[in-house]
Amino acid sequence: MRILVQRVSEASVQVDGQMIGQIGAGLLLLVCAMQGDDEAAADKMATRVARLRIFKDDDGRMNRALTDTGGAALVVSQFTLAADTRSGNRPGFSSAAAPDDGKRLYERFAESLRNQGIHTETGQFGADMKVRLLNDGPVTIWLDSADRA
């Protein structure tokens, strides 16, 4: 599972001009399930995100996690994180999970965040979405479940 984590002051997502998800301070999470991912990977990544210490403490150091701050999460599916750009000018996406698996794991990831007490809003899987954010920092971090044993 690949996740692009962005610390935000606010973020929202629209589909067909309708606001479907909106948060204040917290994390915008662009999520892509990859071939071979399973529910355990989704749960593990949700825990990593919830515990990722990228919020400032009283001394101004990035030492607090989303679970410490009471911040929210906006989870948006983005299969293009699977892009393979090693050849040619057109990215390939064959390493992304099949749509049914991708949707199931995307939903599992969001539910796992909720189960950890994090207010979680979502986009709409497979939809053409318009995402707005006010990046805080900016802080942007790339997570890939394949990078950890």
3-class secondary-structure state, position 107: helix
Specify which residues 26 forms β-bridges with: 8, 72
> Which one from 6, 55, 67, 79 is the annotated catalytic residue?
79
3-class secondary-structure state, position 148: coil
Q: Which of 65, 75, 69, 72 is nearest to 29 (CA)?
A: 75
User: Annotated catalytic, 140?
Assistant: no
Burial of residue 62, with CB atoms counted within 10 A of its CB: 0-12 exposed, 13-18 middle, 19 or more buried: middle
User: Annotated catalytic, 79?
Assistant: yes
**Cα 4 → chain centroid:** 6
User: Annotated catalytic, 55?
Assistant: no
Q: Are 82 and 142 in contact (CB under 8 A)?
A: no
> Which one from 78, 109, 122, 125 is the annotated catalytic residue?
78
Known catalytic residues are: 78-80
